[in-house]
Amino acid sequence: MSDVASREYDLAHAGQRPDEAPYHASVADYVALLKPRVMSLVVFTALVGIVRAPGSVHPVIAFTALLCIAIGAGASGALNMWWDADIDALMTRTRRRPVPAGRIAPSEALAFGLTLAIGSVLVLGLLVDELAAALLAFTIFFYAVVYTMWLKRWTPQNIVIGGAAGAFPPMVGWAAASGGIGLESVLLFLIIFFWTPPHFWALALYKSGDYERAGVPMLPVVAGPAETRRQILLYTLVLVPLAVSPALLGMAGIVYGVVASVSGALMLTLAVQLYRRREGVAAETAAKRLFAFSILYLFLLFAVLLIEAVVPASFGPAWFGPIWFGL
């Protein structure tokens, strides 16, 4: 049996029990392939990119762009689950996913993902904007191929480099609305990029047994908890001032500046607490707290940016920067 055929056989039987007929997939299983929670974050950040881009965009165009970005994100999730089914079957957190659980055939997950990927890029390019379509295509490729098929199983820096895929949606949305790439969209990219390592490494700290069992070289598995906590703190030290920078540069209002500063201080406090909790239950609790708050932190940043763009009169002019620098 060839390596490819052997892999396909292993994936096909990863979660199958002898008393079950394989591949009784429901609609919910196909929805699960799309990773809807990840998709919701992608759509939300892409929406912020659309509404904050210069000029105006027709609601139908904006909706079409968001739909294509959502489908592209779902395609990435499906391709990820197809390729990762062997290691997903070994991890408690992921073993009930449709492919390792034996409810969807690997070949069906692959076909589903490829169809969505090609369709989303084509529609976005034909109906909205070619640059946005190119960015979406690159994002799908980077996540499904560069991260999933290569980085994830090769280096403990998988999340750092692979995190770029999750940071592109605001830029895709910006390009869909404006036809270009602005400095603010680059800042939004960088905020998500530097947010990703603390977020996922906090999760990996208290799920390290899963990753070790599956042979995934996450940082806590390869370098140990102490180095992981140190790296989380370092990335947070970069993230917090970076998140405030849109206000300092006059791209966002005073409300965003205040929210980014206060929530950033809390994020940094949790990172410091995690760094000081060396072992045991306290360390695990600190990791869980940071992981949970990091989700709220990113949501707050982008929610205020969204509200400022929709109702700017309620938030005043972008004068947080001059106040900060004493001008």
Kindly report, residue by residue over 112-151, the tens digit of the pLDDT. Answer: 999 999 999 999 999 999 999 999 999 999 999 999 999 9
Query: Is the same domain home to 242 and 297?
Result: yes
SS3 readout for the chain: CCHHHHHHHHHHCCCCCCCCCCCCCCHHHHHHHCCHHHHHHHHHHHHHHHHHCCCCCCHHHHHHHHHHHHHHHHHHHHHHHHHCHHHHCCCCCCCCCCCCCCCCCHHHHHHHHHHHHHHHHHHHHHHCCHHHHHHHHHHHHHHHHHHHHHHHHCCCCHHHHHHHHHHCHHHHHHHHHHCCCCHHHHHHHHHHHHHHHHHHHHHHHHCHHHHHHHCCCCHHHHCCHHHHHHHHHHHHHHHHHHHHHHHHCCCCCHHHHHHHHHHHHHHHHHHHHHHHCCCHHHHHHHHHHHHHHHHHHHHHHHHHHHHHHHCHHHCCCCCHHHHHHCC
Are 189 and 307 within one domain? yes
Task: Report pLDDT digits (tens) over 206-222.
Answer: 999 889 999 999 999 99
End-of-domain residue from the set 128, 152, 180: 180
213 and 248, same structural domain? yes
This prediction's pTM: 0.88
pLDDT value at residue 313: 52
CATH of the domain at 37: 1.10.357.140
Q: Which residue range(s) make up the domain with 112?
A: 1-13+26-180
204 and 153 assigned to the same domain: no
Residues above pLDDT 90, as percent of the chain: 82
- Of 9 and 186, the structure prediction assigns the larger pLDDT to 186
Residue 172 shares a structural domain with residue 186: no
Write the pLDDT tens digit of every residue in 34-80.
Answer: 999 999 999 999 999 999 999 889 999 999 999 999 999 999 999 99
Q: Which of 180, 196, 216 is the last residue of a domain?
A: 180
* Residue 18 included in any domain: no
Domain boundary among 180, 214, 249: 180
242 & 151 share domain: no
The answer as to whether 21 is a domain residue is no
Lowest mean pLDDT among 16-30, 48-62, 164-178, 254-268: 16-30
Could you give the number of structural domains in the chain? Answer: 2
Residue 44 sits in the same domain as residue 61:
yes
